[in-house]
Amino acid sequence: MTDTGNFNYHLSRLVGSFVAKTDEGYELTYAGRMVVGAILAGTYDAEATVAPIPLDWDCLQCGGAFTLGYEDGYARLQCQTCDSGAVIPIPPGALDSVPVDELPTAVMQWYRARVQRIRSGFCSVCTGRTERRLTDGVDPEADDPTPSTVRFECRRCDTVTTLSGATLVTYHPIVEGFFREHGMATDRRHPTQLWNSIESRVQTVCDEPLTVEVTFGTDSESVSARIEADGRVTNVERRH
Ligand SMILES: [Zn+2]
Ligand SMILES: [Zn+2]
Closest ligand to the CA of 67: 1
CB 165 within 8 A of CB 150: yes
Closest ligand to the CA of 156: 2
Give pLDDT, residue 47.
57
Query: For residue 204, what is the DSSP state?
Result: E
Give pLDDT, residue 41.
83
Give pLDDT, residue 108.
95
Give the alpha-carbon dihedral of 134, 135, 141, 144, to 10 degrees.
Answer: -120
Query: How far apart are the CA of 3 and the centre of ligand 2, in A?
Result: 36
pLDDT digits (tens, 9 = 90+) for 91-150: 888 888 899 889 999 999 999 999 999 999 999 999 999 999 999 999 877 777 789 999
Closest ligand to the CA of 62: 1
Q: Stretch 160-177: mean pLDDT, rounded?
A: 96
- CA–CA separation, 184 and 32 (whole Å): 38
pLDDT digits (tens, 9 = 90+) for 200-223: 999 999 999 999 999 999 878 999
Within 8 A by CB and 6+ apart from 63, the residues are 81
Query: How far apart are the CA of 137 and the centre of ligand 2, in A?
Result: 25
Q: Stretch 42-69: mean pLDDT, rounded?
A: 84
Q: Residue 16: pLDDT band by 50, 70, 90 thresholds? A: confident
Query: How far apart are the CA of 34 and the centre of ligand 2, in A?
Result: 14
Q: Quickly list DSSP for 107-159.
A: HHHHHHHHHHHHHTTB-TTT--BEEEEEEE---TTSSS----EEEEEETTT--
Query: How far apart are the CA of 61 and the centre of ligand 1, in A?
Result: 5
